[in-house]
């Protein structure tokens, strides 16, 4: 098939490269010329394991990038993978996606064959019928050949390619048999030989499935963190407790690692968006509000543990890990951000280290120091906060000896060494 993918960010680039790898002809469209040029050089505009290999292999052959929507009508199906950030009140900001939906419609105004426009972005359930479908149809001058569907994306940054290629489930939210068949054709090469479940439903239910998924996972982590904080108050090791808890099939052993909380581009904005959408309907989602509150508290608890041992004013504090999780350079809503803000407020002198995310964090905090290695960050530090569980931190050993004061507060249970350190685990 010929597929056009609008938006070449984390999701769009991954989806475009993977569709090309599955044998489809793909045109990636983005308004950002720099992203388009990078893609056409066979390079990845983002840091994702395996992505550049796919781009090197397929750019110039089955995959091309452009800033023009001209390829849209030549394709069979168009996926929209545009960002859906939050407004100040947490509600979903559909501005960019609505503009792209309308531009997609405009490109399809004269198309005489049927064409499916699929929303890949995460959108609140009513957004498709109330905003996005009307935008596509408005752009297309009500061309009856154009249909809109929803196919939420469940990939995780840091393992985006592998997640896309090996999904647990693929959800088709459509309004017709024809649209479902088109999505089957798109995903057939991916699903062959895999035992992923296919869910066929309507667009609003497909949208809600994505929110329910993320709200469930974020709440699971916040619950585990709440229980972890209680364990710490009792002087207990939350990991020992949760290892036993996870033996229960109804709970599962996944997502039971307590720590400094969740971040990234999805959980925070998606939980906020579904809370705001629920409130708009007059419902007070009490549990999801607590999920957010507990998450906000975890970085504060990390700081409090450090303050038990170090007077932060004038002290040099190393922050190990700046990305919101390992294997990505994405710092959006990283727990390192409130941690650094609080350290600066308390008068600390901050040095950050991350294997790949330092440049991104330097845009957020240009005035703190950035080290080239974890060892360099630890040198002469009066305390260390471990915020991201990059594997290399597990191997740190002698580097702690170069600290002025070896106080280590671990927010991810990644540091192996304990001897000769004042070591505090966040929930253990
Ligand atoms: P992103 O911000 O990384 O990328 C969006 C891209 O769209 C940017 O490159 C931007 O230049 C481009 N763009 C904006 N307006 C455009 C237009 N009119 N025409 C063409 N291109 C345009 O966003 P993302 O992280 O890829 O997320 C996209 C959507 O997917 C969001 O709704 C997000 O919630 C959802 N999602 C993200 C993830 C994730 O891990 N990042 C996972 C699942 C779902």
> How confident is residue 233, by pLDDT bands cut at 50, 70 and 90?
very high
Q: What is the pTM of this model?
A: 0.93
pLDDT digit string, tens, across residues 127-145: 999 999 999 999 999 999 9
For the residues 118-125, what does the mean pLDDT come to? 98
- Cα 125 to Cα 192, 203, 210, 218: the distances in Å are 30, 8, 10, 19
Which pLDDT does position 60 carry in this prediction? 95
pLDDT digit string, tens, across residues 404-426: 999 999 999 999 999 999 999 99
Neighbours of 71 (CB within 10 A): 21
Distance between Cα 416 and ligand 1 center (Å): 37
Strands of the sheet containing 369-370, edge to edge, are 369-370, 349-353, 316-320, 383-386, 407-410, 422-425
- CB-ligand 1 contact for 54 (6 Å cutoff): no
β-pairing verdict for 369-370 and 349-353 = parallel
pLDDT digit string, tens, across residues 358-408: 999 999 999 999 999 999 999 999 999 999 999 999 999 999 999 999 999
**Atom 28 in ligand 1: residue holding the nearest Cα:** 83
- Cα 357 to Cα 47, 164, 328: the distances in Å are 10, 23, 7
- CB-ligand 1 contact for 83 (6 Å cutoff): yes
* Rounded distance between C-alpha atoms, residue 155 and residue 148, angstroms: 22
Lowest mean pLDDT among 214-218, 253-257, 311-315, 328-332: 328-332
Distance between Cα 89 and ligand 1 center (Å): 20
CB 397 within 8 A of CB 414: no
pLDDT digit string, tens, across residues 42-101: 999 988 999 999 999 999 999 999 999 999 999 999 999 999 999 999 999 999 999 999
pLDDT digit string, tens, across residues 268-292: 999 999 999 999 999 999 999 999 9
β-pairing verdict for 197-201 and 169-173 = parallel
Q: Ligand 1, closest atom to CA 121?
A: 32
Neighbours of 197 (CB within 10 A): 11
- Give the distance, in angstroms, between the CA of residue 136 and the centroid of all CA atoms in the same chain: 26
Give 132's DSSP letter.
I
pLDDT digit string, tens, across residues 155-214: 998 899 999 999 999 999 999 999 999 999 999 999 998 889 999 999 999 999 999 999
Rg (CA), the chain: 23
Distance between Cα 19 and ligand 1 center (Å): 17
Neighbours of 320 (CB within 10 A): 30
18 catalytically annotated: no
| Three-state secondary structure readout of 262-274 | CCCCCHHHHHHHH
Residues 6 or more apart in contact with residue 191 via CB below 8 angstroms: 170, 198
Residues 6 or more apart in contact with residue 42 via CB below 8 angstroms: 52, 55, 56, 59, 60
CB 426 within 8 A of CB 258: yes
Point out the catalytic residue in the list 266, 322, 348, 385: 266
Check pLDDT > 90 for residue 106: yes
- CB-ligand 1 contact for 121 (6 Å cutoff): yes
Which pLDDT does position 284 carry in this prediction? 98
Domains along the sequence of the chain with CATH: 2-200 (3.40.50.720), 202-428 (3.40.50.720)
* Rounded distance between C-alpha atoms, residue 247 and residue 253, angstroms: 7
Tokens coding 84 = 């859906």
């Amino acid at each position: 098939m010929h597929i056009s993918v609008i938006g070449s960010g984390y999701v769009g680039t991954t989806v475009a490269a993977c569709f090309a790898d599955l044998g489809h002809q793909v045109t990636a469209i983005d308004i950002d010329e720099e992203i388009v040029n990078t893609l056409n050089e066979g390079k990845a505009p983002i840091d994702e394991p395996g992505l550049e290999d796919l781009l090197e292999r397929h750019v110039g052959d089955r995959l091309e990038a452009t800033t023009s929507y001209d390829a849209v009508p030549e394709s069979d199906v168009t996926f929209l993978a545009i960002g859906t950030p939050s407004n100040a009140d947490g509600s979903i900001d559909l501005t960019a996606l609505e503009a792209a939906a309308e531009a997609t419609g405009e490109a399809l105004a004269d198309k005489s064959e049927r064409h499916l426009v699929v929303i890949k972005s995460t959108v609140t359930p009513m957004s498709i019928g109330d905003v996005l479908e009307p935008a596509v149809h408005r752009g297309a001058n009500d061309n009856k050949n154009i249909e809109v569907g929803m196919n939420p994306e469940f990939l995780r940054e840091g393992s985006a390619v592998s997640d896309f290629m090996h999904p647990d489930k693929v959800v088709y939210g459509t309004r017709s048999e024809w649209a479902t068949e088109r999505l089957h054709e798109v995903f057939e090469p991916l699903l062959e030989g895999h035992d992923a479940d296919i869910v066929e439903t309507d667009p609003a239910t497909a949208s809600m499935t994505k929110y329910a998924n993320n709200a469930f996972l974020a709440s699971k982590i916040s619950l585990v963190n709440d229980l972890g904080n209680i364990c710490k108050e009792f002087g207990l090791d939350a990991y020992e407790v949760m290892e036993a808890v996870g033996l229960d099939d109804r709970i599962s052993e996944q997502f039971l690692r307590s720590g400094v909380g969740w971040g990234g581009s999805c959980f925070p904005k998606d939980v906020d968006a579904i809370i705001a959408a629920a409130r708009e309907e007059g419902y007070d989602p009490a549990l999801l509000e607590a999920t957010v509150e507990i998450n906000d508290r975890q970085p504060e608890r990390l700081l409090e543990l450090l303050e038990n041992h170090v007077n932060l004013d004038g002290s040099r504090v190393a922050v190990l890990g700046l990305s919101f999780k390992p294997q990505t350079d994405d710092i959006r809503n990283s727990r390192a951000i409130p941690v650094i803000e609080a350290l600066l407020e308390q008068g600390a002198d901050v040095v950050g280290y991350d294997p790949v995310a330092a440049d991104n964090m330097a845009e957020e905090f240009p005035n703190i120091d950035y080290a080239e290695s974890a060892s360099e960050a630890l040198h002469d530090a009066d305390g260390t906060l471990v915020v991201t569980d990059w594997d290399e931190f597990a191997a740190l050993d002698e580097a702690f000896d170069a600290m002025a004061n070896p106080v280590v507060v671990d927010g991810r249970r990644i540091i192996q060494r304990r001897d000769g350190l004042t070591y505090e685990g966040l929930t253990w």
